[in-house]
């Protein structure tokens, strides 16, 4: 399998795409073709565990990697998840299903890919004969940062620097990042929002001057964000796995369609669902759920992407994003893989803060996606009602997805002609990662201390508290640096010495 840039240029191997992270022309790597999953392979997936399912699917893309090595890496990665299943599927009493993706080392869905990416990156370097040390730059709205730090901590031949918005993550997310162990890690707060962090990191990665300076120091740049195809592709697996679990549980028959509701910020999670559909998974509708920062909802309704607007801080901070990077991959597909048009649209976004798609592209969008948004008040009401009705606590991002999913379900129910399929809600983080907001949603009580919130949620729900969160309660923060976005590269150089 070869990979091409959304903005044109030559095709590269899987190893090259992973190691580079982003194409030299600033585009994002996508598969040259989408591999298909046959009926026989779907039947085979039913009898596999999660790591085996991942191996079958990822080898369709990363066929330049050794089969045995990748299988062993996946087995080791997913052994780190509590309960032995990285993506357990729960049936809720209201007929929906909850796909829990928060049982990994950092209690968020980013662990699904970031426990695998270190292997893909290091092995890719070895395959390409790269001797330089890898420098990973990562912008995060909360969850990617800790998952990347944990994945690459003390890995030989790698250094990682994470940049997060100073006031744009939860207290627990900040504590997770700033207490990280390891001699090869750096964590820096940025005055501004996630888009400021992401723009600055992309600017460094796209700069020939920065790349040359870092190469002189013996470093090769790469990324752990979902702009890296090695981060994105492992996320396809849990869509197939959820589908197989539904078939095994006799909730559906093979071939029947399933909807997926996804809390969406940078568009990587839901894009993986779209890729799964392109591979042949019977996906009905992909429900794109946003918080008050409804840039994606507006885009799906109007065809106009307008990033120049106020950014609101919400109780679902990992979705407080105005420039959804992975949307570039989708509009590349919608345009008929027109690299020149995609590049022009991305230039327009960078220069004017907006771009538009054509009427025929909008028509296809509406057959694939339903987009909706919700504010904090409605998210709280949904979380409270759901807990009262079903005894299930969810984090704030999952609350956004459930709120929009319920609205979608109601719309479908009212339409007598609409086909009705089961809906799987993607649960992206443990409630304990956002304890103060979750406690408020469930009880109406405020607490200032995150760990008091954890204790009270546990008393209320009896849900197990992850050991990885318990262990940081009395751990002093290692990283306290705060910089403006235009000083991020200076901080990178300081980190490297």
* pLDDT tens for each residue of 161-171: 999 999 999 99
**Burial of residue 38, with CB atoms counted within 10 A of its CB: 0-12 exposed, 13-18 middle, 19 or more buried:** exposed
Q: How confident is the model at residue 57 (pLDDT cuts 50, 70, 90)?
A: very high
Q: In this structure, are strands 423-427 and 258-263 parallel, antiparallel, or unpaired?
A: parallel
Instruction: Say if residues 265 and 139 touch (Cβ distance below 8 Å).
Output: no
Share of the chain above pLDDT 90, in %: 97
Q: Is the pLDDT of residue 142 over 90?
A: no
Residue 93's pLDDT is 77
Neighbours of 87 (CB within 10 A): 26
Do the beta carbons of residue 61 and residue 233 sit within 8 Å? yes
- CATH code at 277? 3.40.50.1100
Contact between residue 50 and residue 111 where contact means Cβ atoms under 8 Å apart: no
Q: Where are the alpha helices (DSSP H) in 111-262?
A: 111-114, 117-128, 143-152, 171-178, 194-206, 208-216, 229-232, 236-248
pLDDT recorded at residue 366: 93
The pLDDT tens digits for 418-438 are 889 999 999 999 999 999 999
How far is Cα 325 from Cα 336, in angstroms, rounded to an integer? 19
When pLDDT is cut at 50, 70 and 90, the band that residue 494 belongs to is very high
Q: Are 142 and 317 in contact (CB under 8 A)?
A: yes
Inside any domain, residue 429: yes
167 within some domain: no
Instruction: Give the range of the structural domain holding residue 457, as residue numbers without chain letter.
Output: 91-101+235-462
Q: Does residue 413 carry a pLDDT above 90?
A: yes
Q: In sequence order, which ranges of 207-284 are alpha helices (DSSP H)? A: 208-216, 229-232, 236-248, 268-278
Strand partners, 258: 283
Distance CA 105, CA 118 (A): 14
Q: What pLDDT is attached to residue 156?
A: 92
Q: Quick one: DSSP state of residue 319?
A: G
Write phi, then psi, for 292 (nearest 5 degrees). Answer: -60, -25
Please state the rounded mean pLDDT for residues 299-307: 97
Evaluate whether 28 touches 9 at the Cβ level (below 8 Å).
Answer: no
Q: 378 near 239, Cβ under 8 Å? A: no
Residue 84 predicted with pLDDT over 90 = no
- The reply to whether 381 falls in a domain is yes
Integer Cα distance of 223 and 23 in angstroms: 11
Token reading at 28: 């994002």
Domain contains 309: yes
Whether 451 maps to a domain, the answer reads yes
Q: How far apart are CA 119 and CA 108, in angstroms?
A: 19
Inside any domain, residue 148: no
Q: How many domains does the chain divide into?
A: 1
pLDDT exceeds 90 at position 248? yes
Residue 425 lies in a domain: yes
Q: What is the pLDDT of residue 418?
A: 87
**What one-character DSSP code corresponds to residue 432?**
G
Task: Report if residue 120 sits inside a domain.
Answer: no
* Angle, helices 208-216/488-496, rounded to nearest 10 degrees: 10
Per-residue pLDDT at 117: 96
For 362-395, the pLDDT digits (tens) are 999 999 999 999 999 999 999 999 999 999 999 9
258 close to 422: Cβ distance less than 8 angstroms: yes
The pLDDT mean for the chain works out to: 96
For residue 228, what is the enclosing H or E element? none
pLDDT at 303: 97
């Amino acid at each position: 399998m070869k990979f091409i840039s959304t903005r044109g240029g030559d095709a590269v191997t899987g190893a090259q795409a992973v190691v580079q992270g982003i194409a030299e022309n600033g585009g994002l790597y996508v598969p040259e073709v989408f591999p298909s999953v046959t009926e026989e392979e779907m039947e085979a997936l039913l009898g596999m565990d999660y790591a085996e399912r991942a191996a079958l699917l990822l080898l369709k893309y990363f066929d330049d990697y050794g089969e045995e090595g990748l299988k062993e890496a996946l087995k080791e990665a997913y052994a780190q998840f509590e309960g032995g299943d990285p993506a357990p599927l729960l049936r809720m009493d209201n007929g929906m299903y909850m796909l829990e993706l928060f049982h990994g080392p950092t209690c968020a869905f980013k662990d699904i890919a970031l426990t695998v990416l270190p292997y893909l990156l290091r092995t890719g370097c070895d395959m390409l004969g790269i001797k330089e040390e890898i420098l990973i730059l990562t912008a995060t709205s909360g969850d990617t940062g800790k998952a990347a730090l944990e994945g690459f901590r003390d890995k030989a031949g790698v250094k990682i620097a994470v940049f997060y918005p100073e006031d744009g993550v939860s207290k627990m997310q900040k504590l997770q990042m700033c207490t990280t162990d390891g001699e090869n890690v750096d964590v820096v707060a940025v005055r501004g929002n996630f888009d400021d962090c992401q723009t600055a990191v992309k600017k460094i990665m796209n700069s020939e001057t920065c790349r040359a300076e870092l190469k002189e120091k013996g470093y090769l740049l790469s990324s752990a964000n979902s702009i890296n195809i090695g981060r994105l592709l492992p996320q396809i697996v849990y869509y197939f796995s959820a589908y197989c679990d539904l078939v095994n549980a006799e909730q559906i028959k093979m071939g029947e369609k399933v909807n997926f509701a996804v809390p969406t910020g940078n568009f990587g999670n839901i894009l993986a669902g779209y890729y799964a559909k392109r591979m042949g998974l019977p996906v009905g509708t992909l429900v794109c759920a946003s918080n008050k920062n409804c840039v994606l909802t507006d885009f799906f309704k109007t065809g106009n992407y307008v990033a120049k607007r106020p950014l609101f801080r919400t109780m679902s901070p990992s979705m407080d994003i105005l420039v959804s990077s992975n949307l570039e991959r989708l509009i590349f597909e919608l345009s008929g893989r027109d690299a020149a048009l995609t590049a022009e649209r991305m230039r327009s976004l960078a220069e004017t803060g907006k771009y538009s798609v054509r009427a025929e592209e909008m028509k296809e969008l509406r057959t694939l996606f339903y987009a909706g948004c919700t504010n904090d008040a409605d998210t709280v009401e949904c979380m409270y009602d759901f807990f009262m009705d079903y005894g299930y606590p969810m984090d704030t991002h999952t609350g956004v997805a459930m709120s929009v999913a319920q609205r979608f379900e109601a719309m479908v129910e009212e339409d007598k002609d609409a086909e009705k399929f089961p809906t799987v809600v993607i649960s992206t983080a443990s409630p304990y990662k956002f304890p103060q907001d979750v406690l408020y949603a469930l009880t109406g009580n405020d607490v200032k201390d995150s760990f008091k919130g954890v204790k009270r949620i546990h008393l209320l729900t009896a849900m197990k508290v992850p050991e990885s969160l318990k262990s940081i309660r009395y751990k002093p923060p290692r990283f306290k640096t705060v910089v403006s976005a235009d000083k991020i590269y200076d901080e990178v150089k300081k980190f490297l010495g």
